[in-house]
Structure 1
Amino acid sequence: MHLFWEQGFESTSLSQLKAAMGGGISAPSFYAAFESKEALYKEALERYMSLYGDLTKSLHDDAIAPREAVLLTLRRAAKMYCEAGHPKGCMVASGAMGTVSSGSEAIPQLLQGMRGRARNGFHACVQRGIKSGELRESTDTKSLAIAFDSFFMGISVLARDGVPYTAMKKAVDHAMGIWDSAVKPAQD
């Protein structure tokens, strides 16, 4: 998982995967165990999601106020992306940067679907904010959701570039100003 997370699907070679598994596994043994590099990548991605996929759970939780759900997601992401003990950033976001030239569209489609789930969660929060009366009815839900999703994906890249968590946490607070600019004015 860490090898794919650090290097992406395309840049990770079979030789590197075999070496990471240790014990001198042969290519035939690798294919007998995992079928293909693509199948192993999917398993690694499933493992990643089981360990770190809860970053966006607040976006899909109607019991959490919409603004708070967005804030929690961005703060959790910034923290996890910068933590020690694993590669920096997000495996799903990092996978978006590489191209798959092996002829298979399954990996890009899988990653796009995962990213789409987060984007849909941001969109749902904006819609809930409008419905609850927190945000103006004229708020462009799609654009606001894309702004948060772009920030969410962007901080993954910043973490890989070594931007520290303290800076990211402050940036998250500033990014929430985007939400606040769409807040419905209080009635006198």
Structure 2
Amino acid sequence: MARTGRPREFDRQAALEAALTLFWKQGYEPTSLSQLKEVMGGISPTSFYAAFGSKEQLFEEVVELYRSTEGRVADVLFDEETSPRSAIERCLRQSAKMQTDPSHPLGCLIVSGASNCGSTADQVVELLRTVRKKNHEALRGQIRRAVAIGDLPDNTDIDGLTEMFGTFLVGISTAARDGAKSSDLDRSVDHIMRFWVEA
């Protein structure tokens, strides 16, 4: 009589990484539970809900995983040991390089993950908006710090400069998904940094 082997143990981390890739590629709303369960190792509905609670809770974990891995390119915006100009420039260049890397889905999960969601996903939309706002305020903080330490003139339009760099940062995602090359975006960073008029 053939012996039945032990069932394969569920690898939660591998499943989470697979979900990240799928959400990153498709976005929250278009990604179905059946697709998630398939890429996460063919787990049963019972195992899925026991491990992650719900699709929304899974996505929240995915966002945290993203922010601790590829999404770390924006962490430099919160670094006050780096000069403000260098912090912003490094963020833009690192983001362009990461988002055009073909080893994973193109673009940024934080920007595009909930771009096509309906009202049933309000919490997901707000989650990503909150992350983007934190990055935006970190940009503003670096520009304010630059004025305070004399790296930018006292009459600098802080809000205008923040919006310019912030719009460029989130726009990288669309450009990357539309096929922009890392080298092209890097040259664009050269141009946008020329708007940094030092005191």
What is the TM-score when the length of structure 1 is the normalising length?
0.90
| Cross-structure match for 2:22 | 3
Q: Which whole-Å deviations, capped at 9, do the CAs of 1:84-121 have from their partners, x for residues lacking one?
A: 2110111101125222432x432112111110111011
> Identity of aligned pairs, percent?
41
| Cross-structure match for 1:44 | 62
Asked whether the 8 Å contact 2:147–2:153 carries over to 1, the reply is yes
Q: Which whole-Å deviations, capped at 9, do the CAs of 1:115-148 have from their partners, x for residues lacking one?
A: 0111011101110111111212121211211110
Which residue, 80, 83, 88 being the options, matches 1:65? 83
Aligned counterparts, 1:112-127, within 5 A: 112-127=129-144
Q: 1:46 Cα deviation (Å)?
A: 1.1
Mapped partners of 2:61, 2:74: distance in 1: 20
Mapped partners of 2:74, 2:84: distance in 1: 12
Output the aligned Cα RMSD: 1.4
Asked whether the 8 Å contact 1:9–1:100 carries over to 2, the reply is no
Q: 1:11 Cα deviation (Å)?
A: 0.9
> 1:6 and 1:172, CA in 2 relative to 1: closer, same or farther beyond 3 A?
same
SS in 2 for 1:49: helix
| Cross-structure match for 1:163 | 180
Q: 1:30 Cα deviation (Å)?
A: 2.0
| Cross-structure match for 1:33 | 51
Is 1:17 the counterpart of 2:30 in the alignment?
A: no
Mapped partners of 1:41, 1:152: distance in 2: 23
What is the TM-score when the length of structure 2 is the normalising length?
0.85
Aligned counterparts, 1:37-186, within 5 A: 37-102=55-120, 104-180=121-197, 183-184=198-199
Asked whether the 8 Å contact 2:28–2:114 carries over to 1, the reply is no
Structure 1 letter corresponding to 2:136 = R
Question: Rg larger in 1 or in 2?
Answer: 2
SS in 2 for 1:105: helix
Mapped partners of 2:132, 2:147: distance in 1: 23
> 1:96 and 1:132, CA in 2 relative to 1: closer, same or farther beyond 3 A?
farther
Mapped partners of 1:96, 1:64: distance in 2: 32
SS in 1 for 2:119: coil
Mapped partners of 1:113, 1:133: distance in 2: 30
Q: 1:12 Cα deviation (Å)?
A: 0.5
Structure 2 letter corresponding to 1:133 = G
Asked whether the 8 Å contact 1:58–1:70 carries over to 2, the reply is yes
Gaps of 5+ in 2: 1-19
Q: 1:32 Cα deviation (Å)?
A: 2.6
Mapped partners of 1:101, 1:26: distance in 2: 28
Gaps of 5+ in 1: none
